[in-house]
Structure 1
Amino acid sequence: MGLHMVKAVPTPEEIRAAHPMDKELQEIKAKRDAEIKKIFTGESDKFIAIIGPCSADYENSVLDYLCRLAAVAEKIKDKVFVIPRIYTNKPRTNGSGYKGMLHQPNPEDKPDFIEGVKAIRKMHIKAIRETGLTAADEMLYTDNWPYLEDILSYVAIGARSVENQAHRLTSSGIDVPVGMKNPTSGDFAVMLNSCVAAQAKHTFLFSGYEAKTDGNPLAHCILRGSLSKSGRSIPNYHYEDLKYLAEAYGKYKLVNPACIVDANHNNSGKKWDEQPRIVNEILHSRRHSDEVKHLVKGVMVESYIEDGNQPIGGGCYGKSITDPCLGWKKTERLLLEMAEQL
């Protein structure tokens, strides 16, 4: 047998009991969740910025970044609602490379999932306590969700997971917005069908139980660009793409039609410094069409303290060890300019 059970990991209940969310932090999350819900249902016209490192790596630099972000978020809060990216799981196209803090709480050390589940929960809680911001994370594995279900304000389903039945059904039991990315093929039908599944009620096996879900009315689309057969990036953030998605939404029985546009990945061709230009084009498209404005609720931006990326152990504080990110100075300017345009 090629699958070997190494050691048992503490249950979500055990981890939550050891590292609980106190009442003050629960109240912060409840208030933010209510405001985010209003944006997705159309009751609020604030614009969402889901922004932060490609992957959370070192706690000190991540929290440093988040404190800077919180200061800017306060300045623009009347127009822009900031949701920090604290992505603790990192999908890898070919399985190699840093897989995130859950896998390796110390990127320069060997994998340790027991310390990993503790580290990601402690960091998310510390981030709320120090900044007042509740975060987004990617649900790379459905088994991870219960460890953070009382903490996260936004969940993303990646391009390689969006067709997975377990991700779709688990998303239907989540009570915060879940963004379904288009697959790497770019197929809108796959993404929209994932939203249909997530908004519906289901009964299925989950973590050793027969589980039932209520459906998630806040499940929505994320446009992240696609890849051609030859491996060329094909963007899907242009005005015509947004209009097409608005029309496609009309063919599906979905409530709260909404879209977040990922300014990086295949939309930028992983050219991190193109993200501000792409965000500006999205904002222009929203000004040009009420239909697009009502559909596009926000953007995703990958940013950290320093521009670009580096290998693990590269030694540059606050520089991504996965995909390249927009540096802090450019990030701050982007957020302030974003608010001016809304």
Structure 2
Amino acid sequence: MKQTYDVNVKEFKPLISPASIKEELPVADDVAKTVLNGRREVENILQKKDDRVLVIAGPCSIHDTDAALEYAQKMKRLRDVVKEKINLIMRVYFEKPRTTVGWKGLINDPFLDASYDMNEGLRKARSLLIDINRMGLPTATEILDPITPQYIAGLLTWVAIGARTTESQTHREMASGLSMPVGFKNCTDGSLTAAINAMTAAGAPQHFLGIDPQGYSSVVSTKGNPFGHIVLRGGPHPNYDPVSVEKVQKRLKTKNLLDAVMIDCSHDNSGQKHKGQSFVFKSVLDQRLDGNTSIIGLMLESNLFEGNQKCNGDCKTLKYGVSITDECISWETTESLIRCSYDRI
């Protein structure tokens, strides 16, 4: 009899269990303190108990952990300077959604050579998060694969569900069990409905298939996540303007959801050009200073150096500190924006 399953599967490779990698790379008390304090601060900002502006900034994607650590050191110094008015969190993205094909991030292909050593990718990701949190700098990422949280979620202060997965039931269920605030981006077509529905679904208890700490397939039952909120990232047209923000505020109030709006200054809000991010950032800050306290935060795609470069599969020939995915603003531009904002708030 001919085989009827796994017809197009080439091979299976065993994956290290979450419990094993946590034992190999444990969370020390100082690291846990950064994570727990970071989550509490974000929760307070979302509930308007903390009037600071939340800013999540960092590389579009991490491909070089040395460059990421250098960036983190710079951000930690700046975080300490602006902490009374701005809560600065580092964007540390390990997974990249692809419209068709391409490099899918450090966890999927850590050596950028199509070797797909995901065990090493998970180790690199977890180790980097530990190092950054040990500095006292909270971290944020996008969760793309529903298996990933068991490996790294204990080191994250904030996570995003991206524009391509906000409509996914799998990601809404996963978000309902996450231990930190979750930002849901509007869809790539600019619509808000999927993100608003996602907030409602993630706020409710859910039951779904997943893995346990030992890596076994399990039925996962969750309590629901009360800290889901919306992230505006643009669509066919930008949606960071006052009219678009007011529109989403009304939708949130109608659904009795958190009246908290984060603006992504990159992606379709900046025309996917790094130079547009500064304009968006300043415009959104103006709205906040004009009294719109529903705008609780902003996101920036930022790296040591501006622009981007092609991922050619050879780490040695890549420019240091330059993105291999979306265009990023430089650290100098990032620091200037943050310091100017601090002076204006």
Please say whether Structure 1 and Structure 2 have the same fold, judged by a TM-score greater than 0.5: yes
For residue 20 of structure 2, what is the amino acid of its counterpart?
E
How do residues 103-118 of structure 1 correspond to structure 2 at under 5 angstroms?
Answer: 103-108=108-113, 110-118=115-123
Deviation at 1:169, TM superposition (A): 0.7
How do residues 1-342 of structure 1 correspond to structure 2 at under 5 angstroms?
Answer: 1-96=7-102, 98-108=103-113, 110-129=115-134, 131-207=135-211, 208-227=217-236, 234-254=237-257, 256-288=258-290, 290=291, 292-293=292-293, 295-312=294-311, 313=314, 314-342=317-345
Range moving further from structure 2, 310-319 or 134-143: 310-319
Range moving further from structure 2, 163-172 or 197-206: 197-206
Structure 1 distance, partners of 2:115, 2:249, is 46
Structure 2 distance, partners of 1:87, 1:59, is 11
For residue 185 of structure 1, what is the amino acid of its counterpart?
D
Structure 1 distance, partners of 2:334, 2:250, is 32
Structure 2 distance, partners of 1:202, 1:109, is 36
* Cα contact 1:162–1:191 (8 A) shared by 2: yes
Deviation at 1:108, TM superposition (A): 4.4
Deviations 1:39-90 (A, max 9, x none): 1111000101100000011010010011011111111000000110000111
Deviation at 1:107, TM superposition (A): 2.3
Structure 2 distance, partners of 1:198, 1:338, is 33
Deviation at 1:186, TM superposition (A): 1.1
User: When the two structures are aligned, how many residues end up with a matched partner?
Assistant: 330
Deviation at 1:123, TM superposition (A): 0.9
Matched position secondary structure for 1:250: helix
Gap runs ≥5 in structure 2: 1-6, 212-216
Deviation at 1:276, TM superposition (A): 1.2
Deviation at 1:236, TM superposition (A): 0.4
* Cα contact 1:137–1:155 (8 A) shared by 2: yes
Structure 2 distance, partners of 1:133, 1:106, is 26
For residue 115 of structure 2, what is the amino acid of its counterpart?
K
Q: TM-score, normalised by structure 1?
A: 0.94
RMSD over aligned Cα, in angstroms? 1.2
Deviation at 1:14, TM superposition (A): 1.2
Range moving further from structure 2, 278-287 or 76-85: 278-287
* Cα contact 1:283–1:341 (8 A) shared by 2: no
Deviation at 1:341, TM superposition (A): 2.1
